[in-house]
């Protein structure tokens, strides 16, 4: 053929993923819900990192937050109430090649899933864990959650919660072998994106508590914080997140905080009058259980069956 080389071959271009490649079903969250912004940030981080959708999995438990896997065009697992983390740990142990995201809420994680939360943090597997904390049980229509403020009336406590709310940051910062702890609000897009991006890049369990608006049942929580920005403290440091000056101007209260200082992180988390935003703690050297448990992955099905039978033979009478 004239003009064509005899040894030509088709040059297949490398795949490029757009935001649409990560968008699943149409989100059914309420109008004004902070979950929409969190989902948009996850889509953008996946796009920027060019994660292969078929190598990405979103895991969740039960609750409004746990609808996220339905809105991701990736693999997903919508699990039982409070059980997102053991499922995610199992996936990462057997399929270390997958990029694992966990979506959970204040009730799903801090109440029925509390034991799994503690141990998953100690295991420090390579997971990106996003806790959507709106201070209420939203999906089941306004019951008190572990983080509901005292003054907020609910269907289970019409006069307000009886006990002070749980502090997820102080609890997490007290667990052995943690490696990444951060906090953000859903309504600041740049800070939200940068922290989630840093959490995803971190190798280990990244715990990100997201103070998230629920305009239907507890509008007062988010509105109070938006109206009183001095209650929020932006954490700045070269080892933390980098945001534009336009974002910094939105926070009159700021502090230079080194994320490697766990003692300073605990002091920041314990202050009831100020909510720290940014990365409180990061330790890139913490042991990862997924690296220890990923054994025998190269074995064939026949070899695994033979090994199982050999182990069972020890119990033969």
Q: Is residue 4 part of a domain?
A: no
Q: What span, in angstroms and rounded, lies between the C-alpha atoms of 194 and 146?
A: 27
pLDDT at 5 over 60: no
Using alpha carbons, select from 99, 146, 77, 148 the residue that is nearest to residue 290.
Answer: 99
pLDDT at 1 over 50: no
pLDDT tens digits, one per residue of 149-166: 999 999 999 999 999 999
Domain count, the chain: 1
pTM (predicted TM-score): 0.92
Q: Is residue 11 part of a domain?
A: no
Q: Is residue 27 part of a domain?
A: yes
The DSSP 8-state label assigned to residue 162 in this structure reads S
- Measured CA distances, 258 to 37, 177, 208 (Å): 27, 18, 17
Backbone angles phi, psi at 171, to 5 degrees: -65, -50
pLDDT tens digits, one per residue of 52-66: 999 999 999 999 999
Q: How many CA atoms lie within 13 A of 247 on its CB side?
A: 20
pLDDT tens digits, one per residue of 176-228: 999 999 999 999 999 999 999 999 999 999 999 999 999 999 998 889 899 99
Q: Is residue 7 part of a domain?
A: no
Q: What span, in angstroms and rounded, lies between the C-alpha atoms of 87 and 279?
A: 26
* 50: CATH: 3.40.50.970
Q: Is residue 272 part of a domain?
A: yes
Q: Edge-to-edge strands of the sheet including 275-282?
A: 75-78, 56-60, 99-105, 127-133, 206-211, 180-185, 275-282, 232-236, 254-256
Range of the domain at 278: 19-313
Q: Is residue 14 part of a domain?
A: no
pLDDT at residue number 3: 45
- Measured CA distances, 305 to 96, 300, 301, 311 (Å): 21, 9, 6, 10
pLDDT at residue number 217: 96
Residue 203 contacts residue 23 (beta carbons within 8 Å): no
Kindly state the average pLDDT of the residues 271-286.
96
């Amino acid at each position: 053929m004239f003009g064509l080389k005899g040894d030509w071959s088709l040059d297949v271009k490398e795949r490029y993923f757009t935001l649409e490649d990560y968008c699943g079903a149409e989100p059914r969250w309420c109008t004004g819900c902070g979950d929409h912004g969190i989902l948009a940030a996850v889509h953008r981080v996946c796009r920027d990192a060019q994660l292969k959708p078929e190598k990405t999995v979103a895991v969740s438990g039960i609750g409004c937050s746990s609808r996220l896997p339905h809105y991701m065009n990736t693999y997903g697992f919508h699990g039982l109430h409070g059980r997102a983390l053991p499922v995610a740990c199992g996936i990462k142990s057997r399929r270390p090649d997958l990029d694992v995201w966990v979506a959970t809420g204040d009730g799903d994680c801090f109440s029925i899933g509390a034991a799994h939360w503690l141990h998953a943090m100690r295991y420090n597997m390579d997971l990106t864990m996003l806790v959507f904390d709106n201070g209420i049980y939203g999906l089941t229509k306004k019951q008190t959650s572990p983080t509901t403020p005292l003054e907020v009336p609910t269907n289970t406590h019409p006069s307000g919660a009886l006990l002070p709310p749980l502090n997820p940051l102080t609890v997490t910062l007290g667990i052995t072998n943690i490696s990444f702890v951060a906090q953000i609000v859903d309504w600041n897009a740049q800070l939200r994106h940068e922290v989630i991006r840093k959490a995803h890049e971190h190798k280990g369990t990244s715990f990100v508590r997201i103070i998230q608006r629920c305009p239907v049942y507890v509008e007062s929580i988010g509105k109070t914080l938006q109206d009183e920005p001095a209650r929020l403290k932006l954490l700045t440091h070269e080892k933390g997140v980098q945001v534009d000056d336009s974002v910094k101007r939105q926070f009159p209260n700021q502090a230079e905080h080194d994320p490697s200082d766990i003692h300073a992180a605990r002091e920041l988390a314990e202050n009831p009058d100020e909510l720290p935003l940014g990365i409180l703690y990061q330790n890139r050297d913490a042991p990862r259980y997924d690296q220890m448990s990923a054994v025998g992955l190269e074995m064939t099905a026949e070899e695994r069956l033979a090994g199982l039978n050999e182990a069972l033979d020890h119990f033969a009478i």
